[in-house]
Structures are given as C-alpha cells and as structure tokens.
A and B are shown apart, each in its own frame.
Chain A
Amino acid sequence: MPARRRSVARATLAFFLAGFLTLAAIVGLSIWLSERAKLYYSQTVMDRGVRVAAVELRHAVQTAESSQRGYLLTGNQIYLAPYGNAKAAALRELETIKRALAPRAEFQQALERLTAILAEKIPEMDDTISMKRERRDSDALAVIRTHRGKALMDEANVFFAGILRAVDERLAIGAEEQQANAAWLRWLTLLGGAIIMTVAAGAALTANRYTRELLAARSEVDALNTNLERRVQERTTDLAELNVELQRFAYVVSHDLRAPLVNIMGFTSELERGVASMKAALDKFMPNDSHGDAATKEARIAADEDLPEAIGFIRSSTRKMDSLINAILKLSREGRRTLRPERIDLRELVEVSADAIQHQIAAAHGSIQIDLEVGSIVTDRMSLEQIISNLLDNAVKYRMAGRPLAIVLRAKPAFDGRLTIEVSDNGRGIAEQDRERIFELFRRAGPQDTPGEGIGLANVRAMVRHLGGDIAVNSQIGMGTTFSITLPRDITNEKQVNA
C-alpha cells in the first residue's frame, strides 16, 4: 500500500510538471509571437507613412510643375498661388521619406537620385518663373524647350512608382507574415490546450483510480471491523454465559454442601447429648473417686475428655465450613443481584461511611480526610456503600501499630465517563506477591493477627465489577496502601454484559 501511494504521488507530480512545462512554453511562445506582431505592426505603420509621403511628394511636385506651366503660358499670377506651398510640401515630404527610409540600405541609392532630381527640377522651375516675371518669355521657353524639366519629372515619376511598389510589396509581405503569425499562435494554443487537457485527464484518471482503491480499502477495513465487533460481541456473550454458569455452579455447590453439613451439625448435637447422658450415668453409677477397673477408667476419660474434644473439633470445623459456604453464596448472589441505579450524592454517602467508623478512628488516634472532585454518581447505592465501608474497615483493621492512623478518601474524574475513588491509608501495607491474592476468596495477606475470613476484598471486587468497574491496589510494605476503584459515572450508560 505505501509503495502504491508513492507511485501515485509520483505520477501526479509528473502530470503536474508536464502541464506546467506546456503552459510555460505556450506563454513564452505567445509572448514571442505577440512581440513579433508588434514589430510587424510598427513596420506597417512606418511603411504606410512612407507610402503616404511618397504620394504626397509626387502630388506636390506635379502641383508645382502645373502651377509653373500655367504661369508660363498665361503670365497670370493666379497660377503661381499654389507654387510656393507645393514646393515647400515637396521638400518636407522628401525629408519625411528620407528619414523613414534611413535604415533601409536598398532605398538609399534611389533616394539620392530622387534628391538630385528634385534639386535640379526645383531650381529649373524657379528660374523659368523668374524669367517670365522679368518678361524674358523667350529665355523661359528656351529652358522648357531643352525638355530637361520633363525628363527630370519622368525620371522622378519612375522613382515614385518604384518606391510605392516597393512599399506595397513590403506591406503585402507584412500582412502575409502577420497572418502566418496568427495561424502559428492559433495552432500553438490548440496544441497546448490539447496537452494540458491530456495532462489534466491523466491526473484525474490517476486520482480517480486511487480514490477507488482507497474506497475499496476502506470498505474492506469496515468489513473487518464489523467482523471484529461481531467476534468481540460473541466472545463477550460467551464470557457472560460462562460467568452466569459459574455463579450458578457456585450457588448449587454451596447449597448441596449445606445439606450434609446440616446433618453433621445436627447429629453432632445428638452425639453431644448422648455423651452428656452417658457421663451422667457414669457419674451416677461409678463415681469419680471409685476404684474402677481399666475399662471404666477408659470410659470416663472418653466421656470427660476425648469425646467432648472430638465434638469440639467437629463443631469448629463445621462452623468454619458453614461460613465459607455462606461466603461463596454471598459472592454468587452478588454477581446476580439486580442493580438499582440512582443518582447518589457522593459526599453524603462517603461521610455516612466515614461516620460509621469514627469511633474506631478516634481509638486509633487517627483522622480521615475527604477530598472529592466529583459531586455525584449514578449507580447502585447498596453496592457502593458496601464497597466504601469495606475498604474503610480494612484501613482501620490493618493499621500500623503505634502510628496514628491517617486515611485519605479521594474521588476524581477519569477518562471515558468514569471516575476514580481512592482509599489510602498509612497502614502496614501489602507485600507485592500478595496484591492479587488479597482479592481472592478466603485468602489473606500479612500476619494473621486480626480476625477475618478473607471474604471482604473478594466481595468488594465482585461488587465493583458488577457495577461495571474495576479495582486496583498500590502499596508499599510498612508505609501504606491505596485502593483505586474505577466506576462508570452513570451505570445506565454502560453496556450491561450481565443484563
């Protein structure tokens, strides 16, 4: 899966890189092509300027010539009116053309010639006009008759036409190039668009395939999860059934054990009664101080000592067995007890439990400190009361001799909707190897110097677990012990396994 993810990342990166490069190329080429278009455009503008100037020049020269001829023919000043302007315009336009075509080597020769023609033509016209004005008509006519003016004009016309043709050709070429340029741009854009679309499609396809794979993987995980949940559920049910079975077993066994015990106890009493009457008979018929034979002495010893001793042992053993059976019964009943959840003020409950052992604490010169960070809990009141009282009783019972007893009872919130209740003491502590044993039925730890049957903590653990919680112990031998109970804050929110 990670390898697949890497390859997908690599492919995506490659697609993006290709797309970026294509885009950059398109942008670069577009800029280059538009720069070229701009160049063509400015050249076209210039060429058009040259063309206009050439037409203007031709027109101005022709106007000046026709004005000169009209004056020469008629002598009327009226014909000379446009002459000055036309001459000035001709010189101006010539300058314009020369300036515009200055960078163009191929025109220089033609322009020089044209300039020379005009430099000859204009003085010729000026001279003839001056002659006419001085009434030297024949001189003027002689100048005209040389046909030099006409030849110059014809030659000039040839140059004008040449310039115009050259410019027109260039304009035509420019327009063609412009079109080719635009076509290039169009094709390039199309090609780039196609590449980008391919890249995008490829990327989308990869992403789509990857997403599909992800979805497939997720549904597989979901299926596994569901399967796992089902298996956990099955296992939980199995365990719950096993638990119920075990409790039923404990219940039945303890009951069946009780029946013969009733007989043993009952007939022990009968035996005792019989021994008492035998002893009475012995006392009556064979007084103690009599010189009886060996058989009588033995009967007396049996009646006085052996039988009462035997009966006493049977008694204490059956009593012990009865209390053990009762403990098993109690434990099995605890596991099956129906819980009655209610909202409980923790402080109130704890204080009641603490008050119950107040006189014992006082006798041990001790103190109890209550430190609650949790206000209330929804659980079974009876169980919680018994749990707290049992732990407090233990704290008192297993205190360190010669040290003032100090009990601390804490409650604080825990994660996952739970709370922790801690009962700490400065008692004699529990050795490490005993920390699991103390929760087992009929097991006790440390010196057996206080009465007890090893039932309390087993019962506490059964109750805590029945409330959906757990109990742990932390202890330092000779220093003290802390029991930590974790319980759900609201038992009605818990999934009841035993329900």
Chain B
Amino acid sequence: MSPQQTAVTIVMIEDDQGHARLIEKNIRRAGVNNEIAAFADGTTALGYLLGADGSGAVSAHRFLLILLDLNLPDMAGGEILARIKANQHLRRSPVIVLTTTDDAREIQKCYDLGANLYVTKPVNYEEFANAIRQLGLFFSIVQVPENA
C-alpha cells in the first residue's frame, strides 16, 4: 500500500451498532486497514467533518471516504449527503450510501445529491461481505485530488 492510501480515513456514519461492527469486521477481513472513524448520529459526524466553525476547513487536508447510513436518529442521511456535497473542502470525498432501502426513487435521489455509490444492505451475509470487499478494492484505487 502506498503512503497516500494509508492516509485515507474511513468515516462511518451508522447508528446501528451491530451494522457498524459488521461493516468494520468485513472491511478488515477484506484486508483494508485504514483508520475508521465511527459516528452513531449525524450531528457528531457533521461536527467531525465540518469542524467546530462548520466551514469544513478542518477537512481541507484530510483524505476521507464516507460510509453513510440513510436512517439516522437525529437527521436524514440525505441532508448530511447534501451538506457534504455542498462544502468546498468535502465535496470531492467519495460518499458510499449504505442503507436497507432499495426503493428506486430513494436511490435516484441519493445519486442526484452526489453519492458516488449506493449499496443496499442485503440480509444475505455473503453478498454483504462481497460488497464490502469490493469497497476495499475501491479504497485501493481511490484517488483523492484535493491538495494531492
């Protein structure tokens, strides 16, 4: 792994602890050893991403990959996605939407908001693991252009 790739931090915004644990386990099992910053609600996640001043300057020199659950207790995942994609420092960070919804309109809405990938959380564990492994593959080829 190149130094640049190891610098990528995975931001996981997921309120279900079980899901978070499963995602983490499978990311690790897929051989991805990047740092994972886990958040259980939207407010703290946005605090981390945008900083105390809300400008996002804090993320200017970070290399981030964001895993976003749409069903959060305090705010809609779509709103977080919109905030990320509207911020000049964050908008190039890839966002992967992870949710149980497979509603076509919901998926379309996420892509319209700028999501890079939409993954439906399947109950079938093998498929889920496979999807996570593909995410790992995605991490290995990801290019973060800002300040690079």
- Tell me the dominant secondary structure on chain A's binding face: helix
Are A270 and B25 touching (Cβ within 8 A)? yes
What separation, in Å, do the CA atoms of A267 and B24 have in the docked complex? Answer: 13
Interface membership of A446, Cβ < 8 A: no
Which one of A263, A322, A333 has the highest number of Cβ atoms from chain B below 10 Å of its Cβ? A263
Are A255 and B71 touching (Cβ within 8 A)? yes
What separation, in Å, do the CA atoms of A229 and B40 have in the docked complex? Answer: 52
Are A259 and B128 touching (Cβ within 8 A)? no
Interface membership of A358, Cβ < 8 A: no
What separation, in Å, do the CA atoms of A268 and B122 have in the docked complex? Answer: 14
Interface membership of B100, Cβ < 8 A: yes
Chain B residues whose C-beta falls within 8 Å of the C-beta of A265 in the assembled complex: 123-125
Are B125 and A268 touching (Cβ within 8 A)? yes
Chain B residues whose C-beta falls within 8 Å of the C-beta of A318 in the assembled complex: 123
Contact with A along B111-126 (1 / 0, CB 8 A): 0000000000111111
What separation, in Å, do the CA atoms of A260 and B126 have in the docked complex? Answer: 17
Tell me the chain A residues, 249-265 only, with Cβ under 8 Å from chain B.
255, 258-263, 265
Minimal beta-carbon separation of A311 from chain B (angstroms) = 11
Contacts A255-B100, A258-B100; A266 near B71 (Cβ below 8 A): no
Partner of A269, one of B18, B71, B101, B125: B125
Partner of B123, one of A255, A322, A333: A322
Contact with B along A248-292 (1 / 0, CB 8 A): 000000010011111101111110000000000000000000000
Contact with B along A77-98 (1 / 0, CB 8 A): 0000000000000000000000
Contacts A258-B123, A318-B123, A322-B123; A266 near B101 (Cβ below 8 A): no
Are B103 and A266 touching (Cβ within 8 A)? no
Contact with B along A418-437 (1 / 0, CB 8 A): 00000000000000000000
Are B100 and A259 touching (Cβ within 8 A)? yes
What separation, in Å, do the CA atoms of A269 and B127 have in the docked complex? Answer: 12
Are B100 and A263 touching (Cβ within 8 A)? no
What separation, in Å, do the CA atoms of A118 and B126 have in the docked complex? Answer: 162
Partner of B71, one of A259, A270, A322: A259
Contact with B along A84-120 (1 / 0, CB 8 A): 0000000000000000000000000000000000000
Interface membership of B22, Cβ < 8 A: yes
Are B101 and A262 touching (Cβ within 8 A)? no
Chain B residues whose C-beta falls within 8 Å of the C-beta of A262 in the assembled complex: 16, 18-19, 22, 100, 121-123, 128
Partner of B22, one of A261, A263, A319, A322: A263
Q: How many A-B residue pairs have CB under 8 A?
A: 45
Chain B residues whose C-beta falls within 8 Å of the C-beta of A260 in the assembled complex: 18
Chain A residues whose C-beta falls within 8 Å of the C-beta of B16 in the assembled complex: 259, 262-263
Minimal beta-carbon separation of A236 from chain B (angstroms) = 26
Are B100 and A266 touching (Cβ within 8 A)? no
Tell me the chain A residues, 309-344 only, with Cβ under 8 Å from chain B.
318-319, 322, 333
What separation, in Å, do the CA atoms of A276 and B18 have in the docked complex? Answer: 21
What separation, in Å, do the CA atoms of A262 and B129 have in the docked complex? Answer: 12
Are B123 and A267 touching (Cβ within 8 A)? no
What separation, in Å, do the CA atoms of A260 and B19 have in the docked complex? Answer: 9
Are A259 and B19 touching (Cβ within 8 A)? yes
Q: Which residue of B lies closest to A315 (CB)?
A: B125
Chain B residues whose C-beta falls within 8 Å of the C-beta of A259 in the assembled complex: 16, 19, 71, 100
Partner of A255, one of B22, B101, B124: B101
Chain A residues whose C-beta falls within 8 Å of the C-beta of B22 in the assembled complex: 262-263, 266-267, 270
What separation, in Å, do the CA atoms of A322 and B126 have in the docked complex? Answer: 15
Chain B residues whose C-beta falls within 8 Å of the C-beta of A333 in the assembled complex: 103
Chain A residues whose C-beta falls within 8 Å of the C-beta of B71 in the assembled complex: 255, 259
Chain B residues whose C-beta falls within 8 Å of the C-beta of A261 in the assembled complex: 123
What separation, in Å, do the CA atoms of A253 and B35 have in the docked complex? Answer: 34
Partner of A263, one of B19, B25, B124: B19
Minimal beta-carbon separation of A281 from chain B (angstroms) = 19
What separation, in Å, do the CA atoms of A261 and B16 have in the docked complex? Answer: 12
Minimal beta-carbon separation of A129 from chain B (angstroms) = 150
What separation, in Å, do the CA atoms of A265 and B121 have in the docked complex? Answer: 11
Contact with B along A198-209 (1 / 0, CB 8 A): 000000000000
Chain B residues whose C-beta falls within 8 Å of the C-beta of A270 in the assembled complex: 22, 25
Q: Which residue of A lies closest to B16 (CB)?
A: A259
Chain B residues whose C-beta falls within 8 Å of the C-beta of A268 in the assembled complex: 125
Chain A residues whose C-beta falls within 8 Å of the C-beta of B126 in the assembled complex: 269
Q: Which residue of A lies closest to B23 (CB)?
A: A266
Are A263 and B125 touching (Cβ within 8 A)? no
Minimal beta-carbon separation of A342 from chain B (angstroms) = 20
Contact with A along B28-69 (1 / 0, CB 8 A): 000000000000000000000000000000000000000000
What separation, in Å, do the CA atoms of A140 and B143 have in the docked complex? Answer: 184
What separation, in Å, do the CA atoms of A261 and B129 have in the docked complex? Answer: 15
Closest 5 CB pairs of A and B: A263-B18, A269-B125, A266-B22, A258-B100, A322-B123
Q: 10 A-B residue contacts at CB 8 Å? A: A255-B100, A255-B101, A258-B100, A261-B123, A262-B22, A262-B123, A265-B124, A266-B125, A267-B22, A269-B125
Q: A262-B18, A266-B125, A269-B125 are in contact. List 6 more A-B contacts (CB 8 A).
A: A258-B123, A262-B128, A265-B124, A266-B19, A270-B22, A333-B103
